[in-house]
Amino acid sequence: MVSRGGILLRRLISSIYFELILAGGLVMCAPVASAQQTWHVQVGAEIRYQAKQADAFFPDEIWIYVDDSIKFTFSPRSEDHTVTVLETGRARPLFSGPAPNAATYVVKLPTAGNYKLACPAHPDMNGVVHVMQHTDSAAAFYAASLPYDQFDYDHQAAVEMGDLLARKADPSEGVREFPPSENVVLMTGEVVVDAEGGQYLAMVHFLPRTIRIHAGETVEWINTDPMLPHTITFGPEPMNLKTLVTAIPGPDGAPQATINSPMDGVSSGFLQSAAQDRTFLPESAPGATRLRVKFTRPGTYHYIGGLNDANGEVGAVIVLP
């Protein structure tokens, strides 16, 4: 049996307890109010005059709170990126990307969880977003405060961007790698992979830009980039750049063609290495990474890399008698 005094005491205690919870709640709520914040992630970077493109999320791993937003800013003018936020096991896209030519894209994440950031245009351009729940549970890591603030991410972004753009992707490596031939044009790039995913460095120019051969000889274009496609087009561009025009796959899968006049149209389709294989998924087909074109008559033959011509990826074959 409980006395009246006992009941009053319990009320008093529970009232104090309630106020403590409120006070605690206020303390815990303080970061909540300020935490509905917008984080900034840069998508891609470039050095135009060096024809270098860094295709990556900067930073590529970020911790935020539920209901925070991420504002993605697309900086490159010469490479299109999209942003897709993927939940594990879900078919893409959970969030569709921005409208074409959008300068920014804001995504709000209302549910706690770990999400993958992807740019479907660049299959291994990935990142991770950790959306943390506000909780007072001591077991919840980072519940009280997130591991990094925007200043830290800006610093990480600048370092990663600098690292990637400073890489050489030295075309002479490719020349050393393949037996020297006077008739080879290279396209190069690199992929840097860390725990969160891939970051690309793409060199969007032909090496050499102008090549001189004699009538009857064949030029071979080789895309040594481990990931990104390039195309070679003489004459009008096909609507779909993946379409082979005139060229026919040779015995080793590389498309081959003959050009008899500067009016002839040839398009290579995507010259691209095969996608990475993953356990328990069907093997992907080997990619065609080379195009061979025989030139029968003297003349100057201009061509473009249809995916990057706006960025200056154009070339010429000068055929001497």
Query: Contact residues for Cu ion (CB under 5 A)?
Result: 55, 81, 119, 121-122, 125
Please provide the distance, in angstroms rounded to a whole number, between the alpha carbons at the two ends of the chain: 115
Residue closer to Cu ion by CB (options 58, 303) is: 58
Question: Which of 287, 177, 178 lies closest to 231, judged by CA?
Answer: 287
Q: Can you name the residues that pair with 316 across neighbouring β-strands?
A: 210, 302
Residue closer to Cu ion by CB (options 121, 316) is: 121
Residue closer to Cu ion by CB (options 52, 81) is: 81
Question: Which of 71, 74, 127, 70 lies closest to 100, judged by CA?
Answer: 74
Closest approach of Cu ion to the CB of residue 26, in Å: 43
Angle (CA) 104 90 98, round 5°: 15
Closest approach of Cu ion to the CB of residue 28, in Å: 38
Question: Which of 115, 112, 26 lies closest to 65, judged by CA?
Answer: 112
Residue closer to Cu ion by CB (options 55, 190) is: 55
Cβ atoms of 98 and 74 closer than 8 Å: yes
Closest approach of Cu ion to the CB of residue 22, in Å: 48
Residue closer to Cu ion by CB (options 198, 315) is: 198
Pairwise CA distance, residues 161 & 165, whole Å: 6
What does the DSSP assignment read for 230-264?
B--EESSPPSSTTSEES-EE-TTS-EEEEE-STT-
Residue closer to Cu ion by CB (options 230, 292) is: 230
Closest approach of Cu ion to the CB of residue 313, in Å: 17
Closest approach of Cu ion to the CB of residue 56, in Å: 8
Closest approach of Cu ion to the CB of residue 44, in Å: 6
Residue closer to Cu ion by CB (options 45, 184) is: 45
The CB-nearest residue to Cu ion is 119
Question: Which of 84, 95, 86, 146 lies closest to 121, judged by CA?
Answer: 84
* 8 phi and psi angles, rounded to 5 deg: -60, -45
Hey, what are 189's tokens? 């790039």
Cβ atoms of 246 and 233 closer than 8 Å: no
Closest approach of Cu ion to the CB of residue 77, in Å: 14
CB hemisphere CA count around 10 (13 angstroms): 6
